[in-house]
Amino acid sequence: MKAILVGLGSAGFSWYKRLRDRGLLAAVVETDPAMKAKLEGAPYPFYTSLEEALAQEEADFLVNVTSPAAHTRVNHAAFDRGLPVLCEKPISFDYSESIEIVARAAKENIPFMIAENYRRFPYVRKMKQLLDEGIIGAISTIDIRFRRYHQVQRKYAVRILDDIGVHHFDMLRYLTGREGKAIQAKLYNPLGSWEEEGALINASAIIEMEGGIIAGYAATIASRGPETLWAGDWRIEGTNGALVLAGKEIRIYKEDGTEVINDFADVGETDTLTEFLASLETRQEAETSGNDYLLTQALVHYANLSGESGHNIQIELPDLGRTIQ
């Protein structure tokens, strides 16, 4: 299996090393010719034109690590040649474009997966395992807190939900096995945060999930106090106890005592590239396929709409062959 890597920025360079080290790299595409220096003379074909690379190179799939504004163009170019795509999040910042891309991939039966990695952290997989085993009974409420100082230079304004909260919303869907029904969100830039046109730095939301589960979410990328890990801190209340994730430690609170879990060897290693390759080999839909990830992006989309309007918004999920319960 060989891949064309499109994009060689900071995230793209990480993907370059991953593909290179696993012997999966066919060629690199990057519009900035100065980026070729990152290859340090490695003998991989380097193109500044995606169309030229697609015409010249034999590849089995494409890895899209471009700026989000370019995702749709790159995805369509790959689909034009029937190439499977592993794409960094988001599918697109434009929700209607995301729906269009997922619909095309489904219609033409082209494998399309989003490289969502937070749900693959070992402690998150362990939480899922415990919840599925019913360790705290039925989930009733969830409290999610995320705090970091994360001012970065990018080609677009950073928005807390689109850039980072989307990971937490994906974890919410993954851990509960439920979809969103309604959301009330407040998005704002706190006093003392930096000035950046279009940026949204803080978010608070109340999310109603299927099955009567209510989740509270509070996130900031302008915290000057103690930081959480990227997955955030979670408190999940159930009918028979509570499960708390703080850092990389899980605590289970029940009437008969407290259990602490910080060894996750039994859940095994998992990563997005391995998942994508396995889905191509087995011809089974990937865990974070475009179809699935669109449901996560729906949460972000309606949270943004709620933030703009100030109203509680009912979530209308895209028609992917499922029925809201």
pLDDT digits (tens, 9 = 90+) for 239-251: 999 999 999 999 9
Inter-residue contact 157 to 198 (CB < 8 Å): yes
| Predicted local distance difference test score (pLDDT) of residue 320 | 58
Q: Is the pLDDT of residue 323 over 50?
A: no
* Across 125-145, average pLDDT: 98
| Predicted local distance difference test score (pLDDT) of residue 192 | 85
Inter-residue contact 142 to 216 (CB < 8 Å): yes
Q: Reading across the β-sheet that carries 25-29, which strands appear in turn?
A: 46-47, 25-29, 3-6, 61-64, 85-87, 112-114
273: closest CA among 63, 29, 45, 34? 63
207: closest CA among 183, 174, 187? 183
Q: Is the pLDDT of residue 234 over 60?
A: yes
Inter-residue contact 12 to 38 (CB < 8 Å): no
DSSP 257-298: EEEEE---GGG----HHHHHHHHHHHT---TTBHHHHHHHHH
- Taking the CA atoms of residue 7, residue 12, residue 15 and residue 20 in that order, the dihedral angle to the nearest 10 degrees is 60
| Predicted local distance difference test score (pLDDT) of residue 143 | 98
| Predicted local distance difference test score (pLDDT) of residue 322 | 43
| Predicted local distance difference test score (pLDDT) of residue 196 | 81
- Write down the pTM of the prediction: 0.94
Inter-residue contact 93 to 118 (CB < 8 Å): no
The pLDDT-based confidence of 158 (bands split at 50, 70, 90) is confident
Question: Cis peptide before 90, with omega less than 30 degrees from 0?
Answer: yes
* Across 39-64, average pLDDT: 97
Taking only the tens place, the pLDDT of each residue in 84-128 is 999 999 999 999 999 999 999 999 999 999 999 999 999 999 999
Q: Is the pLDDT of residue 325 over 50?
A: no
Taking only the tens place, the pLDDT of each residue in 259-297 is 999 999 999 778 999 999 999 999 999 999 999 999 999
Query: What length is written for the chain?
Result: 325
Q: Is the pLDDT of residue 324 over 50?
A: no
Cα(first)–Cα(last) distance of the chain, in Å? 40
Taking only the tens place, the pLDDT of each residue in 162-190 is 999 999 999 999 999 999 999 999 999 99
The rounded distance, in Å, linking the Cα atoms of 313 and 37 is 48
The pLDDT-based confidence of 136 (bands split at 50, 70, 90) is very high
Inter-residue contact 272 to 115 (CB < 8 Å): yes
In the chain, how long is the greatest CA-to-CA distance?
65
Domains and CATH numbers, the chain: 3-110 (3.40.50.720), 118-270+288-314 (3.30.360.10)
Taking only the tens place, the pLDDT of each residue in 10-48 is 899 999 999 999 999 999 999 999 999 999 999 999 999
Which residues sit opposite 177 in a β-bridge?
Answer: none
